[in-house]
Amino acid sequence: MARMSRYGDIVNGRRIQTPQRLGAAIRDARRAAGLTQVQLAAKAGVSRAWLIEIEAGASERAELGKVLATVRALDLRLELSPADDAATDAEAAALDYLAGL
């Protein structure tokens, strides 16, 4: 059985369809882990400036290797699933708006 992060419940089941949602998931997991941005950046091997940009959802073209390193540093994993039940772009935008993203 795969190991689940102790803060996996923070991000479990989130549909990551936008840079803003990815950033919010990373930020929430970092906070749940009790890490500062400086600590997570050092653990993942990325700069704090890069992490700030990702958490803000401001990076449309983030380097995949850095995203994966950050996810691993949080003891999480990235999974893909069929988009059969994924929200439409309009629904995703509405959910992001309501969430303040």
Kindly report, residue by residue over 50-77, the tens digit of the pLDDT: 999 999 999 888 899 999 999 999 999 8
Per-residue pLDDT of 8-17, as tens digits, reads 444 556 678 8
64-73 and 19-32 helices, crossing angle to 10°: 30
Map residue 46 onto helix, strand or coil.
coil
Tell me the domain boundaries of the chain. Answer: 8-96
Gyration radius of the chain's alpha carbons? 13
Architecture of domain 8-96: Orthogonal Bundle (1.10)
- Residue 93 scores a pLDDT above 50: yes
Whether the predicted model's global pTM rises above the 0.75 cut: no
CA distances from 32 to 49, 66, 79, 81, 91 (A): 20, 20, 20, 25, 27
Length of the chain counted residue by residue: 101
Residue 84: pLDDT band by 50, 70, 90 thresholds?
low
